[in-house]
Amino acid sequence: MKKTKPANYKKWSKLAAKELRNKSLEDLTKTHGSLEVKPIYFAKDLPKNIKSDMPGNVPYTRGVRASMYANRAWTIRQYAGFSSAKESNEFYRSLLAGGTKGLSIAFDLATHRGYDSDHIRVKGDVGKAGVAIDSVEDMKVLFDKIPLDKMSVSMTMNGAVIPILAMFIVAAKEQGVNSVQLSGTIQNDILKEYMVRNTYIYPPIPSMRIIGDIIAYTNENMPKFNSLSISGYHMHEAGASAEQELAFTLADGMEYVKMAQKRGLDIDDFAPRLSFFFGIGMNFFVEIAKLRAARFLWANIMQDLGAKNSKSKMLRTHCQTSGVSLTEQDPYNNIVRTAFEAMSAVLGGTQSLHTNSFDEAIALPTDFSARIARNTQLIMQHETGVADVIDPLAGSYYIEALTKQLIDKAKDILEKVEDFGGMTKAVSEGWPKRSIEEAATLRQTRVDRGQDVIVGVNRFRLEEEEALETRKIDNEKILKEQVLRLKALKKNRNQAQVDEALAAIKECAAMNEGNLLEAAIIAASARATLGEISKAMEDIFGRYSAKPEVISGVYGKQYKDDAEYIAFEKRIGEFEKQKGRKPSIFIAKMGQDGHDRGAKIIASAFADMGFLVHFGALFESANEVANHVKEIGVDVVGVSSLSAGHKVLVPELIKLLKEKNLKDVQVIVGGVIPVDDYEFLYEAGAVEIFGPGTNVLEAAFKVLNRIEKRLMNR
């Protein structure tokens, strides 16, 4: 592609040449993904339409409201939830007392995956990465003394979206709040689950029907409630570039709108209550431009889809600072990172914002770290003056050119999605997922090689880290409490009513008639559990299982000239020559944690280095993993954990390996593992633990050393 130089570039070049010394002008041009950032911009770099673009006017590039924050600041909406409904409720009330204006609910992984807490598959997940919700009774406790007619509630839920929304509606009704009074958002964005987050339950086609049923029900009964929050955040966390997050998120939105239109819904009836959710990373100006580009693109997309109401063309968004940018090493640096990311979101024009706590790369936030995260936003609102001016960077040569570049890059991706026949087909083909995994792996190589500097991780490291107090969740205690609550619920309810309501859900699903949310509200009122409602639909729709795939070549290509990497490949070659086989590893994802970015990067990198890599299916039990290991035979099992289930699942796996006469198979653990848990895991039998920020090549050396040492001692 031919590069064009901006106006006055030659004059600037002559002035700058004296200062550059040994550097060429090309050395100053940076790349961020496929974006090119020049060292200087001039007036002629501005897009032609910049002068006519006003805040509050279509296409809303400068903001969705004419007055923006000058009239009303963004909503401080902190995402939180852990342990039991009672403990989460106490935490929410403290947030509200401290200045938080809206709640964003985090559910545990058992809930996300449609299992009650007493299900055999979730014993390590209950209450760990969010709050456990099994019934309306739990939902009532969760919102005790929180007025649902006044409080906006956002719920990050996709897989078990039908029972969760039904229980929320019933809990509100029993609090005395009618559904027409409820305000907030349900995420309800299943397409991105198949791409990155993986907390799906049903196959894509019935899942799209569920989304349509929710849009239809809320359209008729909940005029203040957003029925869909199209999420790019989880793509961001999985390693998507800015242009990928932007394009794939909007493509998902297009797919949902088209689906609703096919059901006979008028676009201007439901589109004003669609919302978006973006992740905000450390590339300060790119993130600002991303939100501006998103609004421009969505306005044009909706116009093309037939929207006439200006509110239908308006992209409203919640943002969350990046979790993947948080580091386990020198974690107080994360306070600074979060502040910069929050400022990007605000300068980009977000409607609400969550700021991450500095300890979230290690564990769930403490009250102390959560207060700092919340106060970051309060300080921005009340002390910085950032809210005084609408879109203060508008007209910046750089920002406007960057916004235009992101628009163009996103359009290219959107065209390719359309070539597939839409996002559902593209997702079924696996193209978006592969694209994001390639971007994530490429990013990891740049960090490992020091090309991208992460302060405190690959540069400026502390010689010794201070111990950090983290929040600890007593999984056994919560599990016992939830099981007892379930037993009491089932003992005291009218079982005949429950059976009738669950049968109605099955019929609704099987006949493809009626509304599943409406049927689930009746079941929830009768005290059917989340697991029972989910299972009723699963009996008809089936449970979806993705085929694990691992990309290849990206890691090796970036390291092809690296002396250390070449030396490691030679060691692998010598191993294969001596043993007649490659060193082998089985990478396991146990429990209900679907975040597989780290596991996929390790699998891809290790395979490029010469390991024989077996990648297990998501959501396996320890027994299933042990059976795979016995069947295929490997040197090492690598357990990837991001949801704190490791203290239950890793010891169980090691015990099972011994019982199956596989004691020579070594177990390593990687992911978000609090340092306080290291000793427990070592005592259980883990031989290596790799936390966030681990250099992949260094990890490979350690794993190979372990394999060779074990083989020598046999």
Contact 189, 157 (CB under 8 A): no
Active-site residue, from 9, 92, 194, 233:
233
Active-site residue, from 595, 600, 614, 647:
595
Helices (H) and strands (E) in the chain, counts: 28, 16
Closest alpha carbon to 517 in 161, 159, 137, 177: 161
Active-site residue, from 313, 589, 646, 647:
589
Contact 239, 195 (CB under 8 A): no
The three-state secondary structure class of 178 is: coil
Q: Within a 10 A sphere around the Cβ of 460, how many other Cβ atoms?
A: 12
Amino acid at position 120, single letter:
I
Active-site residue, from 112, 123, 234, 236:
234
Active-site residue, from 125, 391, 593, 635:
593
**At CA 186, angle to CA 499 and CA 472, rounded to 5?**
90
Cβ-based neighbours of 709, under 8 Å, separated by 6 or more:
none
C-alpha 566/C-alpha 366 separation (Å) is 44
Distance from the first to the final alpha carbon of the chain: 58
589 is known as an active-site residue: yes
Please compute Rg for the chain using Cα positions: 26
Q: Largest Cα–Cα distance of the chain, in whole Å?
A: 86
C-alpha 532/C-alpha 135 separation (Å) is 10
555 is known as an active-site residue: no
* Beta-sheet strand order (sheet of 152-155): 225-226, 184-186, 152-155, 102-105, 75-80, 352-354, 317-321, 274-280, 228-231
Q: Structure tokens of 362?
A: 């290690």
CA 384 to centroid of chain Cα atoms:
29
Cβ-based neighbours of 267, under 8 Å, separated by 6 or more:
257, 260, 261, 302, 305, 306, 307, 312
C-alpha 151/C-alpha 96 separation (Å) is 10
Q: Within a 10 A sphere around the Cβ of 71, how many other Cβ atoms?
A: 10
Active-site residue, from 9, 60, 79, 200:
79
354 is known as an active-site residue: no
676 is known as an active-site residue: no
194 is known as an active-site residue: no
709 is known as an active-site residue: no
Q: Structure tokens of 210?
A: 């569920």
Residue positions annotated with a catalytic role: 79, 233-234, 589, 593, 595
